[in-house]
Amino acid sequence: QQGKALVFPEPTWQVEGGVRQAWALKSYEYVRLVNKVTGKVESHRGEQTVFPGPDDELLDGQVMQLIDLKVHEYVKILDQSTGAIRVESGSQGSSKQVFLGPHDKVLDNGKKKAVEIDGEHAVLVRDKSSGQVRLVTEKQLFIPGPNESIEKVQDLIKLADHEALIVKNKDGEFQYFYGSDEKRAAGQPRSFFLEPYAEIVKLCWSKGRRRETRNL
């Protein structure tokens, strides 16, 4: 029996579980019900009133609210029935509202902010399907793909006239960068981003009578 009613049990009836509550869902709410007998999961979106079946219970333990994505936000969602990962974002010029399907699971602790790539910032991105790392410098509001992860947000390295920098590239070769126009080789940049797998080399100078301290 559902809704407003007076129910008088017959002598042979047995009430199972008592009176159960229905859910009056607003437009931004939803519930996911799992049938304890069959394991089937159903998702119900508002606005509506949802009455659970005899064997239904809340999958999430409560009424859920949609994921509201602003223009600079995104979320990764896993379809547990297929293993496919998709990226939902509000980067198409407006915000977006996302409801989880029956088998959906939010990854990486929920929604994230996209990275603003400009002349001062770049992003190192790893493709988990191939293990390769690439440097993204094209100006954009960057959102990683389903199989991508952001390894690091890089700041532009800018050398003053009196500064120099040693970089070891992915092949183990040392490269020398100078801020001075006189020392800098033709075509060598004064400001740049570190390429994938490259690292800055730090030199430590010793002090003391026996040069036992290397902290300069």
163 near 179, Cβ under 8 Å? yes
Q: What is the pLDDT of residues 190-212, one digit of tens each?
A: 899 999 999 999 887 776 666 55
Which of these, 152, 179, 153, 155, lies nearest to 165 by C-alpha position? 179
Q: What is the DSSP letter of 156?
A: P
Residue 4 has pLDDT above 70, yes or no: no
Residue 172 has pLDDT above 80, yes or no: yes
Three-class SS state of 213: strand
End-to-end CA separation in angstroms for the chain:
81
Helices (H) and strands (E) in the chain, counts: 0, 24
Q: What is the pLDDT of residues 16-60, one digit of tens each?
A: 666 668 888 999 999 999 998 999 999 999 889 888 888 888 998
70 near 89, Cβ under 8 Å? no
Residues 6+ apart with CB under 8 A from 177: 157, 159, 164, 165, 166, 167, 184, 188, 189, 190, 192
Q: What is the pLDDT of residues 129-153, one digit of tens each?
A: 898 999 999 999 999 999 999 999 9
pLDDT band with cut points at 50, 70 and 90 for residue 187: confident
pLDDT band with cut points at 50, 70 and 90 for residue 186: confident
Q: Across all residues in the chain, what is the average pLDDT?
A: 86
Max distance between CA atoms of the chain, in angstroms, equals 102
Q: Which amino acid is at 130?
A: S
Mean pLDDT of 171-178: 90
Buried residues in 190-211 as b, exposed as e (16+ CB within 10 A): bebbbeeebeeeeeeeeeeeee
Q: The tokens of 134 are what?
A: 């690439």
Give the C-alpha separation, 114 to 121, whole Å. Answer: 13
Which of these, 183, 124, 181, 198, lies nearest to 155 by C-alpha position? 124
Say how many residues make up the chain.
216
pTM of the predicted model as reported, rounded to 2 decimal places: 0.74
Residue 189 has pLDDT above 80, yes or no: yes
Residue 103 has pLDDT above 90, yes or no: yes
Q: How far is CA 115 from CA 1, 8, 68, 118, in A?
A: 52, 62, 18, 10
Residue 15 has pLDDT above 60, yes or no: yes
Mean pLDDT of 175-181: 89
Q: The tokens of 88 are what?
A: 């939902």
Q: Supply the pLDDT for residue 115.
A: 93
Phi/psi at 206 (5° precision): -95, 155
Give the C-alpha separation, 192 to 208, whole Å. Answer: 37
